[in-house]
Chain A
Protein backbone atom coordinates (compact mmCIF):
# COMPACT_ATOMS: atom_id res chain seq x y z
CA UNK A 1 0.00 0.00 0.00
CA UNK A 2 2.80 2.38 0.98
CA UNK A 3 4.73 1.43 -2.15
CA UNK A 4 1.68 2.07 -4.29
CA UNK A 5 1.26 5.55 -2.77
CA UNK A 6 4.94 6.30 -3.37
CA UNK A 7 4.61 5.15 -6.96
CA UNK A 8 1.58 7.37 -7.47
CA UNK A 9 3.43 10.40 -6.09
CA UNK A 10 6.36 9.85 -8.43
CA UNK A 11 3.99 9.26 -11.33
CA UNK A 12 2.37 12.63 -10.56
CA UNK A 13 5.80 14.28 -10.48
CA UNK A 14 6.68 12.69 -13.83
CA UNK A 15 3.35 13.92 -15.17
CA UNK A 16 4.12 17.50 -14.12
CA UNK A 17 7.56 17.26 -15.70
CA UNK A 18 6.13 15.95 -18.97
CA UNK A 19 3.46 18.63 -18.96
CA UNK A 20 6.08 21.33 -18.46
CA UNK A 21 8.25 20.00 -21.26
CA UNK A 22 5.37 19.56 -23.69
CA UNK A 23 3.48 22.74 -22.87
CA UNK A 24 3.06 25.01 -25.93
CA UNK A 25 5.08 28.24 -25.89
CA UNK A 26 2.07 30.48 -25.27
CA UNK A 27 1.09 28.64 -22.10
CA UNK A 28 4.71 28.47 -20.93
CA UNK A 29 5.02 32.24 -21.27
CA UNK A 30 1.79 32.75 -19.30
CA UNK A 31 2.91 30.41 -16.53
CA UNK A 32 6.32 32.06 -16.32
CA UNK A 33 4.64 35.47 -16.36
CA UNK A 34 2.44 34.43 -13.44
CA UNK A 35 5.46 33.65 -11.25
CA UNK A 36 7.37 36.75 -12.39
CA UNK A 37 4.39 39.07 -11.84
CA UNK A 38 3.94 37.61 -8.35
CA UNK A 39 7.54 37.84 -7.23
CA UNK A 40 8.65 41.06 -8.93
CA UNK A 41 6.77 43.45 -6.57
CA UNK A 42 8.41 41.71 -3.59
CA UNK A 43 11.81 42.01 -5.25
CA UNK A 44 11.22 45.70 -5.95
CA UNK A 45 10.39 46.27 -2.28
CA UNK A 46 13.64 44.46 -1.36
CA UNK A 47 15.64 46.52 -3.84
CA UNK A 48 14.06 49.80 -2.75
CA UNK A 49 14.87 48.93 0.84
CA UNK A 50 18.49 48.22 -0.10
CA UNK A 51 18.75 51.43 -2.09
CA UNK A 52 17.21 53.47 0.72
CA UNK A 53 19.72 51.94 3.09
CA UNK A 54 22.54 52.80 0.70
CA UNK A 55 21.18 56.33 0.22
CA UNK A 56 21.04 56.69 3.99
CA UNK A 57 24.65 55.63 4.32
CA UNK A 58 25.60 58.03 1.50
CA UNK A 59 23.72 60.84 3.24
CA UNK A 60 25.64 60.17 6.41
CA UNK A 61 28.81 60.38 4.38
CA UNK A 62 27.74 63.72 2.95
CA UNK A 63 26.55 62.61 -0.47
CA UNK A 64 22.85 62.99 0.23
CA UNK A 65 20.68 63.72 -2.78
CA UNK A 66 23.42 63.01 -5.29
CA UNK A 67 22.18 59.53 -6.08
CA UNK A 68 18.70 60.80 -6.96
CA UNK A 69 20.11 63.72 -8.95
CA UNK A 70 22.45 61.39 -10.77
CA UNK A 71 19.55 59.13 -11.72
CA UNK A 72 17.52 62.06 -13.06
CA UNK A 73 20.48 63.40 -15.03
CA UNK A 74 21.12 59.99 -16.57
CA UNK A 75 17.53 59.89 -17.73
CA UNK A 76 17.95 63.35 -19.24
CA UNK A 77 21.15 62.28 -21.03
CA UNK A 78 19.37 59.32 -22.61
CA UNK A 79 16.52 61.52 -23.79
CA UNK A 80 18.91 64.10 -25.25
CA UNK A 81 20.99 61.43 -26.95
CA UNK A 82 17.85 59.94 -28.43
CA UNK A 83 16.74 63.35 -29.66
CA UNK A 84 20.16 64.07 -31.20
CA UNK A 85 20.16 60.70 -32.93
CA UNK A 86 16.63 61.24 -34.10
CA UNK A 87 17.45 64.64 -35.58
CA UNK A 88 20.46 63.28 -37.40
CA UNK A 89 18.53 60.30 -38.62
CA UNK A 90 15.66 62.44 -39.82
CA UNK A 91 18.06 64.60 -41.84
CA UNK A 92 19.64 61.56 -43.45
CA UNK A 93 16.37 59.83 -44.01
CA UNK A 94 14.72 62.84 -45.56
CA UNK A 95 17.28 62.72 -48.33
CA UNK A 96 16.88 59.01 -48.79
CA UNK A 97 13.11 59.18 -48.71
CA UNK A 98 13.16 61.37 -51.74
CA UNK A 99 14.82 58.52 -53.58
CA UNK A 100 13.13 55.64 -51.81
CA UNK A 101 9.42 56.05 -51.29
CA UNK A 102 8.86 52.85 -49.34
CA UNK A 103 11.45 53.62 -46.71
CA UNK A 104 10.69 52.14 -43.29
CA UNK A 105 11.42 54.33 -40.24
CA UNK A 106 13.28 52.30 -37.65
CA UNK A 107 14.23 54.98 -35.20
CA UNK A 108 12.85 54.65 -31.68
CA UNK A 109 10.47 57.54 -30.97
CA UNK A 110 9.39 56.70 -27.48
CA UNK A 111 11.56 55.57 -24.59
CA UNK A 112 9.91 53.79 -21.69
CA UNK A 113 11.91 54.15 -18.45
CA UNK A 114 12.04 50.92 -16.46
CA UNK A 115 13.55 49.93 -13.16
CA UNK A 116 15.66 46.80 -12.92
CA UNK A 117 13.85 44.48 -10.52
CA UNK A 118 16.05 41.39 -10.51
CA UNK A 119 18.55 39.36 -12.48
CA UNK A 120 18.15 35.87 -13.85
CA UNK A 121 17.98 33.27 -11.10
CA UNK A 122 20.09 31.07 -13.34
CA UNK A 123 23.71 32.21 -13.65
CA UNK A 124 24.06 30.63 -17.08
CA UNK A 125 22.05 33.49 -18.60
CA UNK A 126 23.10 37.11 -18.89
CA UNK A 127 19.79 38.77 -18.28
CA UNK A 128 17.97 41.15 -15.96
CA UNK A 129 14.27 41.63 -15.29
CA UNK A 130 12.64 45.04 -15.53
CA UNK A 131 9.46 46.07 -13.78
CA UNK A 132 7.59 47.08 -16.93
CA UNK A 133 5.67 44.78 -19.22
CA UNK A 134 2.95 44.54 -21.84
CA UNK A 135 0.63 46.80 -19.81
CA UNK A 136 3.25 49.58 -20.00
CA UNK A 137 3.81 49.21 -23.74
CA UNK A 138 6.94 47.06 -23.53
CA UNK A 139 6.98 44.48 -26.32
CA UNK A 140 9.15 41.48 -27.10
CA UNK A 141 12.35 42.11 -29.12
CA UNK A 142 12.68 45.81 -28.34
CA UNK A 143 15.97 47.59 -27.81
CA UNK A 144 16.92 48.43 -24.23
CA UNK A 145 19.31 51.36 -23.80
CA UNK A 146 20.97 53.34 -21.04
CA UNK A 147 23.02 56.56 -21.02
CA UNK A 148 26.09 54.49 -21.95
CA UNK A 149 24.51 52.85 -25.00
CA UNK A 150 22.81 49.59 -25.90
CA UNK A 151 22.05 47.26 -22.98
CA UNK A 152 20.31 44.45 -24.88
CA UNK A 153 16.85 43.48 -26.04
CA UNK A 154 13.65 42.38 -24.38
CA UNK A 155 13.03 38.63 -24.49
CA UNK A 156 10.15 37.20 -22.47
CA UNK A 157 7.51 39.80 -21.67
CA UNK A 158 4.65 39.36 -19.20
CA UNK A 159 1.94 41.79 -18.16
CA UNK A 160 4.10 43.62 -15.62
CA UNK A 161 7.67 42.44 -16.24
CA UNK A 162 10.10 41.87 -19.07
CA UNK A 163 13.33 39.89 -19.26
CA UNK A 164 16.16 41.81 -20.90
CA UNK A 165 18.77 39.69 -22.64
CA UNK A 166 22.03 41.59 -22.14
CA UNK A 167 24.43 42.28 -25.00
CA UNK A 168 26.90 39.90 -23.39
CA UNK A 169 24.51 36.93 -23.60
CA UNK A 170 25.37 34.48 -26.40
CA UNK A 171 21.74 34.57 -27.57
CA UNK A 172 21.85 38.34 -28.16
CA UNK A 173 22.83 39.19 -31.73
CA UNK A 174 22.95 42.74 -33.09
CA UNK A 175 23.62 44.02 -36.58
CA UNK A 176 26.37 46.58 -36.04
CA UNK A 177 28.59 49.11 -37.80
CA UNK A 178 32.04 50.44 -36.98
CA UNK A 179 31.32 54.14 -36.59
CA UNK A 180 34.55 55.48 -38.16
CA UNK A 181 34.77 53.24 -41.21
CA UNK A 182 31.12 52.39 -41.72
CA UNK A 183 31.87 48.68 -42.10
CA UNK A 184 29.12 46.30 -41.07
CA UNK A 185 29.26 43.16 -38.94
CA UNK A 186 27.34 41.07 -36.44
CA UNK A 187 27.84 41.52 -32.70
CA UNK A 188 27.26 38.43 -30.52
CA UNK A 189 27.52 38.15 -26.73
CA UNK A 190 30.33 36.04 -25.29
CA UNK A 191 29.37 35.98 -21.61
CA UNK A 192 31.43 37.48 -18.82
CA UNK A 193 35.19 37.17 -18.49
CA UNK A 194 36.64 35.83 -15.25
CA UNK A 195 37.78 39.40 -14.47
CA UNK A 196 34.13 40.36 -14.40
CA UNK A 197 33.83 42.23 -17.69
CA UNK A 198 31.04 41.40 -20.11
CA UNK A 199 32.37 40.50 -23.55
CA UNK A 200 30.85 40.80 -27.01
CA UNK A 201 32.38 39.95 -30.35
CA UNK A 202 31.86 41.55 -33.76
CA UNK A 203 32.22 39.12 -36.66
CA UNK A 204 32.07 39.34 -40.44
CA UNK A 205 33.99 42.63 -40.74
CA UNK A 206 35.54 42.77 -44.20
CA UNK A 207 39.23 41.83 -44.05
CA UNK A 208 40.36 44.96 -45.92
CA UNK A 209 38.53 47.44 -43.69
CA UNK A 210 41.06 49.44 -41.63
CA UNK A 211 39.45 49.13 -38.20
CA UNK A 212 41.43 50.07 -35.07
CA UNK A 213 41.42 49.32 -31.38
CA UNK A 214 39.34 52.05 -29.71
CA UNK A 215 36.91 52.46 -32.63
CA UNK A 216 33.28 52.89 -31.59
CA UNK A 217 30.81 50.22 -32.65
CA UNK A 218 27.19 51.32 -33.09
CA UNK A 219 23.96 49.65 -34.12
CA UNK A 220 23.36 49.57 -37.86
CA UNK A 221 19.58 49.75 -37.66
CA UNK A 222 19.29 46.78 -39.98
CA UNK A 223 16.94 44.03 -38.92
CA UNK A 224 14.36 46.34 -37.43
CA UNK A 225 14.88 45.50 -33.73
CA UNK A 226 17.48 48.07 -32.71
CA UNK A 227 17.39 51.78 -33.56
CA UNK A 228 20.28 53.09 -35.59
CA UNK A 229 23.50 54.63 -34.21
CA UNK A 230 23.19 53.52 -30.58
CA UNK A 231 26.62 52.94 -29.07
CA UNK A 232 27.39 49.26 -28.45
CA UNK A 233 30.96 49.64 -27.21
CA UNK A 234 34.60 50.12 -28.14
CA UNK A 235 36.87 47.69 -29.95
CA UNK A 236 39.34 46.11 -27.52
CA UNK A 237 41.15 43.63 -29.76
CA UNK A 238 41.21 42.68 -33.45
CA UNK A 239 42.21 39.50 -35.25
CA UNK A 240 41.54 37.79 -38.56
CA UNK A 241 39.40 34.65 -38.76
CA UNK A 242 41.10 31.37 -39.59
CA UNK A 243 39.81 31.37 -43.15
CA UNK A 244 41.25 34.87 -43.60
CA UNK A 245 38.08 36.31 -45.10
CA UNK A 246 36.85 38.42 -42.21
CA UNK A 247 38.13 40.29 -39.20
CA UNK A 248 36.85 39.65 -35.70
CA UNK A 249 36.80 42.37 -33.03
CA UNK A 250 36.35 41.93 -29.29
CA UNK A 251 34.11 44.64 -27.88
CA UNK A 252 33.57 45.91 -24.37
CA UNK A 253 29.82 46.63 -24.14
CA UNK A 254 29.96 49.88 -22.19
CA UNK A 255 26.29 49.96 -21.16
CA UNK A 256 26.44 46.44 -19.70
CA UNK A 257 29.59 47.28 -17.75
CA UNK A 258 27.98 50.39 -16.25
CA UNK A 259 24.50 48.92 -15.91
CA UNK A 260 22.47 51.17 -13.60
CA UNK A 261 19.15 50.56 -11.89
CA UNK A 262 17.15 52.33 -14.61
CA UNK A 263 17.11 51.51 -18.32
CA UNK A 264 14.97 52.67 -21.25
CA UNK A 265 13.00 50.44 -23.59
CA UNK A 266 12.38 51.55 -27.17
CA UNK A 267 8.62 51.76 -27.39
CA UNK A 268 8.16 52.31 -31.10
CA UNK A 269 10.13 51.81 -34.22
CA UNK A 270 10.91 48.12 -33.90
CA UNK A 271 9.40 45.51 -36.11
Chain B
Protein backbone atom coordinates (compact mmCIF):
# COMPACT_ATOMS: atom_id res chain seq x y z
CA UNK B 1 0.00 0.00 0.00
CA UNK B 2 1.34 3.44 -0.89
CA UNK B 3 2.29 6.03 1.71
CA UNK B 4 -0.24 8.47 0.29
CA UNK B 5 -3.04 5.92 0.62
CA UNK B 6 -2.03 5.17 4.24
CA UNK B 7 -1.97 8.90 5.02
CA UNK B 8 -5.39 9.50 3.47
CA UNK B 9 -6.95 6.51 5.22
CA UNK B 10 -5.62 7.60 8.61
CA UNK B 11 -6.62 11.24 8.10
CA UNK B 12 -10.13 10.12 7.18
CA UNK B 13 -10.34 7.86 10.23
CA UNK B 14 -9.14 10.65 12.56
CA UNK B 15 -11.55 13.15 11.01
CA UNK B 16 -14.56 10.88 11.42
CA UNK B 17 -13.56 9.65 14.89
CA UNK B 18 -13.46 13.25 16.13
CA UNK B 19 -16.95 13.86 14.76
CA UNK B 20 -18.73 10.82 16.13
CA UNK B 21 -20.56 11.24 19.43
CA UNK B 22 -19.07 9.58 22.50
CA UNK B 23 -21.69 7.37 24.17
CA UNK B 24 -21.79 8.20 27.89
CA UNK B 25 -22.98 4.72 28.87
CA UNK B 26 -19.65 3.32 27.69
CA UNK B 27 -17.74 5.57 30.11
CA UNK B 28 -17.30 8.18 27.33
CA UNK B 29 -15.26 5.94 25.06
CA UNK B 30 -14.61 7.03 21.52
CA UNK B 31 -15.25 4.69 18.58
CA UNK B 32 -11.85 3.09 17.86
CA UNK B 33 -11.72 3.92 14.14
CA UNK B 34 -8.07 4.95 14.18
CA UNK B 35 -7.10 1.77 16.04
CA UNK B 36 -9.12 -0.37 13.62
CA UNK B 37 -7.52 1.37 10.67
CA UNK B 38 -4.04 0.81 12.06
CA UNK B 39 -4.71 -2.90 12.66
CA UNK B 40 -5.81 -3.25 9.03
CA UNK B 41 -2.82 -1.30 7.71
CA UNK B 42 -0.36 -3.27 9.84
CA UNK B 43 -1.74 -6.52 8.41
CA UNK B 44 -1.56 -5.28 4.82
CA UNK B 45 1.68 -3.28 4.65
CA UNK B 46 5.42 -3.71 4.79
CA UNK B 47 7.55 -3.09 7.85
CA UNK B 48 8.42 0.53 7.06
CA UNK B 49 4.85 1.39 6.16
CA UNK B 50 3.59 -0.14 9.40
CA UNK B 51 5.96 2.05 11.42
CA UNK B 52 4.92 5.11 9.40
CA UNK B 53 1.22 4.30 9.89
CA UNK B 54 1.71 3.80 13.65
CA UNK B 55 3.58 7.09 13.97
CA UNK B 56 0.99 9.01 11.97
CA UNK B 57 -1.91 7.47 13.90
CA UNK B 58 -0.22 8.38 17.20
CA UNK B 59 0.56 11.93 16.11
CA UNK B 60 -3.01 12.44 14.86
CA UNK B 61 -4.48 11.05 18.08
CA UNK B 62 -2.32 13.30 20.22
CA UNK B 63 -2.74 16.35 18.00
CA UNK B 64 -6.53 16.20 17.99
CA UNK B 65 -6.95 15.83 21.74
CA UNK B 66 -5.96 18.03 24.68
CA UNK B 67 -3.70 15.25 25.99
CA UNK B 68 0.05 15.94 26.13
CA UNK B 69 1.79 15.41 22.81
CA UNK B 70 3.43 12.01 22.60
CA UNK B 71 1.34 10.36 25.32
CA UNK B 72 -0.69 8.24 22.88
CA UNK B 73 2.07 7.46 20.39
CA UNK B 74 3.60 4.44 22.23
CA UNK B 75 0.17 2.77 22.26
CA UNK B 76 -0.17 3.04 18.49
CA UNK B 77 3.39 1.79 17.99
CA UNK B 78 2.54 -1.22 20.18
CA UNK B 79 -0.66 -1.88 18.21
CA UNK B 80 1.12 -1.58 14.86
CA UNK B 81 4.05 -3.75 15.92
CA UNK B 82 1.77 -6.27 17.61
CA UNK B 83 -0.53 -6.70 14.62
CA UNK B 84 2.48 -6.83 12.28
CA UNK B 85 4.16 -9.52 14.41
CA UNK B 86 0.96 -11.54 14.50
CA UNK B 87 0.24 -11.32 10.81
CA UNK B 88 2.17 -14.47 9.92
CA UNK B 89 0.15 -16.27 12.57
CA UNK B 90 -3.15 -14.78 11.39
CA UNK B 91 -4.98 -17.62 9.72
CA UNK B 92 -7.15 -15.65 7.31
CA UNK B 93 -8.25 -12.14 6.41
CA UNK B 94 -11.69 -12.62 7.91
CA UNK B 95 -14.09 -10.80 10.21
CA UNK B 96 -13.36 -13.08 13.16
CA UNK B 97 -9.63 -12.32 12.89
CA UNK B 98 -10.34 -8.62 13.13
CA UNK B 99 -12.81 -9.13 15.98
CA UNK B 100 -10.13 -10.97 18.00
CA UNK B 101 -7.48 -8.37 17.16
CA UNK B 102 -10.01 -5.64 18.05
CA UNK B 103 -10.58 -7.24 21.45
CA UNK B 104 -6.85 -7.39 22.12
CA UNK B 105 -6.28 -3.81 20.95
CA UNK B 106 -9.20 -2.56 23.06
CA UNK B 107 -7.92 -4.23 26.22
CA UNK B 108 -4.43 -2.86 25.64
CA UNK B 109 -5.82 0.61 24.95
CA UNK B 110 -7.75 0.83 28.19
CA UNK B 111 -4.88 -0.58 30.22
CA UNK B 112 -2.36 1.73 28.57
CA UNK B 113 -4.29 5.00 28.81
CA UNK B 114 -5.59 4.30 32.32
CA UNK B 115 -2.02 3.68 33.50
CA UNK B 116 -0.48 6.63 31.66
CA UNK B 117 -3.11 9.18 32.71
CA UNK B 118 -3.12 7.90 36.27
CA UNK B 119 0.68 8.04 36.53
CA UNK B 120 0.88 11.54 35.00
CA UNK B 121 -2.02 12.59 37.23
CA UNK B 122 -4.08 13.95 34.35
CA UNK B 123 -7.32 11.99 34.80
CA UNK B 124 -8.90 10.37 37.83
CA UNK B 125 -9.44 6.65 37.21
CA UNK B 126 -11.69 4.77 39.62
CA UNK B 127 -11.95 0.98 39.66
CA UNK B 128 -15.64 1.12 38.70
CA UNK B 129 -15.03 3.42 35.74
CA UNK B 130 -12.09 1.26 34.65
CA UNK B 131 -14.26 -1.86 34.61
CA UNK B 132 -17.08 -0.12 32.71
CA UNK B 133 -14.62 1.24 30.17
CA UNK B 134 -12.87 -2.10 29.81
CA UNK B 135 -16.16 -3.93 29.20
CA UNK B 136 -17.44 -1.50 26.60
CA UNK B 137 -14.03 -1.09 25.06
CA UNK B 138 -13.88 -4.85 24.40
CA UNK B 139 -17.35 -4.67 22.88
CA UNK B 140 -16.50 -1.67 20.69
CA UNK B 141 -13.18 -3.22 19.66
CA UNK B 142 -14.85 -6.47 18.64
CA UNK B 143 -17.48 -4.59 16.60
CA UNK B 144 -15.72 -1.55 15.18
CA UNK B 145 -12.43 -3.10 14.04
CA UNK B 146 -14.17 -5.71 11.82
CA UNK B 147 -16.46 -2.92 10.53
CA UNK B 148 -13.40 -0.83 9.61
CA UNK B 149 -11.93 -3.89 7.87
CA UNK B 150 -15.10 -4.35 5.81
CA UNK B 151 -15.20 -0.67 4.85
CA UNK B 152 -11.50 -0.58 3.92
CA UNK B 153 -11.68 -3.81 1.98
CA UNK B 154 -14.57 -2.32 -0.03
CA UNK B 155 -12.65 0.92 -0.62
CA UNK B 156 -9.48 -0.96 -1.61
CA UNK B 157 -11.48 -3.07 -4.01
CA UNK B 158 -12.98 0.05 -5.60
CA UNK B 159 -9.64 1.86 -5.91
CA UNK B 160 -7.43 1.23 -8.93
CA UNK B 161 -4.69 -1.33 -8.40
CA UNK B 162 -1.06 -0.28 -8.71
CA UNK B 163 0.81 -2.61 -11.06
CA UNK B 164 4.50 -3.29 -11.01
CA UNK B 165 6.28 -3.27 -14.32
CA UNK B 166 9.01 -5.78 -14.93
CA UNK B 167 11.50 -5.14 -17.67
Contact = CB atoms under 8 A, between A and B. Distances in A.
- A and B pair up: yes
A123 B30 contact: yes
B95 interface: no
Contacts of A21: 69-70
Contacts of A39: 11, 14-15, 18, 64
Nearest to B80: A13
Contacts of B100: none
Contacts of A165: 66
Given A39-B64, A122-B65, A194 B132 contact: yes
B73 A20 contact: yes
B47 A9 contact: yes
A79 to B, nearest CB: 29
Interface string A185-201: 00000011111110000
B160 to A, nearest CB: 23
Nearest to B69: A28
A231 B19 CA distance: 28
A121 B24 CA distance: 15
Given A13-B55, A118-B18, A119-B18, A31 B28 contact: no
Contact of A23 (B16, B55, B69, B124): B69
A13 B51 contact: yes
Interface residues of B, number: 46
Contacts of A23: 69-70
B interface majority secondary structure = helix
A124 B123 contact: yes
A163 B49 CA distance: 31
Contacts, number: 124
Chain A interface size, as a band, is: 35 or more
Contacts of A42: 15
B25 interface: yes
B20 to A, nearest CB: 8
A225 to B, nearest CB: 17
A134 interface: no
Contacts of B51: 9-10, 12-13
Contacts of A129: 18, 64
A122 B67 CA distance: 8
A17 B14 contact: no
B25 A196 contact: yes
Contact of B70 (A20, A193, A195): A20
B64 A120 contact: yes
A120 B66 contact: yes
Interface string A174-192: 0000000000000000011
B66 A13 contact: no
Interface in B118-149: 122-124, 129, 132
A43 B55 CA distance: 22
Interface of A: 6, 9-10, 12-13, 16-17, 20-21, 23, 28, 31-32, 34-36, 39, 42-43, 46-47, 118-127, 129, 155-156, 163, 165, 170-171, 191-197
13 contacts: A13-B54, A20-B69, A23-B69, A23-B70, A32-B64, A39-B15, A43-B15, A121-B65, A122-B64, A123-B29, A123-B30, A125-B67, A191-B28
Given A23-B69, A156-B66, A163-B66, 10 more contacts: A16-B73, A20-B73, A21-B69, A23-B70, A39-B18, A46-B15, A119-B22, A122-B65, A125-B66, A194-B25
**Nearest 7 pairs between A and B by C-beta?**
A122-B65, A196-B24, A20-B70, A35-B63, A123-B30, A21-B70, A121-B64
Interface of B: 11, 14-19, 21-25, 27-30, 34, 47-48, 51, 54-55, 58-70, 72-74, 77, 113, 117, 122-124, 129, 132
